[in-house]
Amino acid sequence: MALSNLSLTIGNGEFVALLGPSGCGKSTALNCLAGLLPLTGGSIFLDDRRIDTLPPERRDFGMVFQNYALFPHLTVRQNIGFGLKIKKVAKSEIERRVTAAINLVQLSLHADKHPSQLSGGQQQRVAIARAIVIEPQVVLMDEPLSNLDAKLRHEMRSEIKRLHRELGLTTVYVTHDQEEALSLADRLVVLHDGKVQQIGTPEDVYMNPVNSFVADFMGYRNLISMDLLAGGSAGNYSLRAPGLELTASNLFSGSAAGKVRVAIRPEDLFIENTSGNSISCTVKSVEYQGKDFAVEVSTAQGITLHLRTPKKLEVGQSTNLTVASDRVLVYPDSDA
């Protein structure tokens, strides 16, 4: 997978998540960092030391793999101690640090088992302990939670967050799960087709995606083609589509009068009569999702919209939606 023009400076102790759909180049970026894939151009510096010319064993990066890649013939203790043994750390010191790491990931009851005797979540803990026990300059994590079931994924996410807080290790984390990235990272890097789309804090990327690709990926399910009327000004841009009129507060760079793409998050559409844009429509389908309902509605002219609401609606019922004009995001049409 090709990757171009990824330029990123990561601060000490920072947790950076590379986020994107599969095939976007995020794992490539991580493998290049680790030295498992060669760079065809560019360079990597650690502090002032250039490291992209070094083989992986001399980079001092700990890595957690998607399938854990534990050594099946070694016990949990030996797996975790492997890096220290290679670095020729004294036996007593290895013993002490491995025991500390085992306690840190709460595996003291399983220290002498082999990986095949452990559950997926326990194997993942071993993989994490093995990567951090060598006290690497940077920890790289390649979709470490994608093989776990939903409940365990949540637990391990808190675990990773806790370890990062306790140890303050600089971490680069690759994932395709936006929720995971939002909850863990200090900073997000959204990738698509090997190109950086946006770099920013989770709030920033979530609330203000810079283009319609990022918006779509961050859960702005309603992407509508509309016309932007000429002559608007900040706080008051008029948008038109057959049977639909909206006002937006801001435009994202590149948007000009004419065809544009409008993104609205399902969570920003409300049934209650609040101020802002008003859309009248008919309910098409209702999905019960526990804490709320996912509802699909359609305007008279056939524009489909998705929203979430705690209120139980009936299919076929007419309703009125509102959306605040600062939550109507306008992007140029070309970058769809």
Partner 1 sequence: MSSVDTSARTFNLKSWLAEHGVDRLLFLLVPAFLAMLAFFIYPTIYGTYLSFHPMEAKSGALGNYRSFFGDTYMRNSIWNTFRIALPVSLINVFAAVPLAVRLRHRVRGKRTINTLLVIPMSLGTVLIAEGLSAYLAPNGWFNRTLLAAGIIDQPLQLLHNFWGVIISLLITGFPFAFLLTLSYISGINPKMEEAASTLGATSWQRFRYITFPLLTPGLAITFCLNFVLAFSVFPSANLLGNPAGDSHVLAVAAAQAIVNNYDYSMASAISVITGAFELAVVALVLVMRSRLYSGSTSGGKG
| Binding stretches for partner 1 (CB under 8 A) | 34-36, 55-63, 65, 67-73, 82-83, 86-87, 114-116, 120, 123, 130-131, 134, 140, 147
Tell me the closest approach of the beta carbon of residue 322 to partner 1, in angstroms: 48
Pair of tokens at residue 19:
């986020």
Closest CA to 298 of 279, 312, 273: 279
Taking the C-alpha atoms of residue 45 and residue 231, their distance in angstroms, rounded to an integer, is 48
Burial of 314 (C-beta count, 10 Å sphere; 0-12/13-18/19+): exposed
Q: CB count, 10 Å around CB of 230? A: 10
Q: Are 309 and 293 in contact (CB under 8 A)?
A: yes
Q: CB count, 10 Å around CB of 94? A: 20
* Contacts with 105 (C-beta within 8 Å, 6 or more apart), sequence order: 125, 126, 128, 129, 159, 163
E strands within the chain?
15-19, 45-46, 49-50, 61-64, 138-142, 170-175, 187-192, 195-200, 222-228, 237-241, 244-248, 258-264, 277-288, 293-298, 304-309, 318-323, 329-332
